[in-house]
Amino acid sequence: MGPQLSASIMPLISADHPGVTDLFAVLAYGEISAFYRLGHEAQQSPSLRGKVALAKMAAAEMNHFVTLEHALAERGVDVFDAMAPFVRALDAYHASTDPSTWLESMVKAYVGDGIAADFYREIAAALAPPVAATVRDVLAETVHSQFAVAEVRRSVAANRQERDRLTLWGRRLLGEAITQAQYVMAQRDELTDLVITATGDLNNIAALFDRMQISHAARMAVLGLG
């Protein structure tokens, strides 16, 4: 069983696959844009506790950014050059999902980050160990997101209208995330090759999106939505 076992645990994607740079770069710009989104949305917080909770989430994003900046530097790549191709798609995602209320912000912080994390964790499973470790490191769940869960659950428990409204909002977040992910894949051949290699083939990508939809529904349920 030696050779077969080795083959099954051998990562599909080596650390020098050119798509790895793209992967780190899109994650890095994701952290930056999440940082500014959280800082901006915190203005709507009804309390100082809410502001601080969002500020902690934002600071965690920047700590992750620094990890990615170093990982890219080790590959001889400047993070700003590498991020440039992804600015448009991520900015478009945030512009198309700009929360109009505090609760929409909370749902986006919890559900939006979860969608991205699902996608990247699946890819990580096929990556060479040091690359996979960096990806998992920057996706580490923080306790801060529990604040978002508590805020939303409390507010929707006794308010059916709010619950319905936020359920639709959650669906829109998933739709916009998939739209922008597809846009990025269409633009970046090396990243697309990495994702297809990681998942096996195009059918498996469809299966991946199905799994993401199931995880999304589970997260919505945690929030008391859906």
Residues that bind its own copies in the complex, under the rule CB under 8 A: 32, 35-36, 39-40, 42, 48-49, 51-52, 55-56, 58-59, 61-63, 65-66, 80, 83, 87
Rounded least distance, CB 84 to its own copies, Å? 8
Q: For residues 41 and 176, which CB has a smaller minimum distance to its own copies in the complex?
A: 41
Q: For residues 35 and 119, which CB has a smaller minimum distance to its own copies in the complex?
A: 35
Q: For residues 65 and 110, which CB has a smaller minimum distance to its own copies in the complex?
A: 65
Contact by Cβ (8 Å): 115, 96 = no
Q: For residues 29 and 120, which CB has a smaller minimum distance to its own copies in the complex?
A: 29
Rounded least distance, CB 24 to its own copies, Å? 15
Closest Cα partner for 123 from 213, 219, 191, 220?
A: 191
Q: Which distant-in-sequence residues (6+ apart) come within 8 Å of 44 by Cβ?
A: 99, 101, 102, 105
How many angstroms separate the first and last alpha carbons of the chain? 46
- Please report, as a single letter, which amino acid is at residue 50: G
Rounded least distance, CB 166 to its own copies, Å? 25
- SS3 for 114-127 is HHHHHHHHHHHCCE
Separation of alpha carbons 58 and 63, rounded Å = 9
Rounded least distance, CB 71 to its own copies, Å? 15
Q: For residues 32 and 195, which CB has a smaller minimum distance to its own copies in the complex?
A: 32
The CA-atom distances, in angstroms, between 114 and each of 117, 130, 151 are: 5, 23, 17
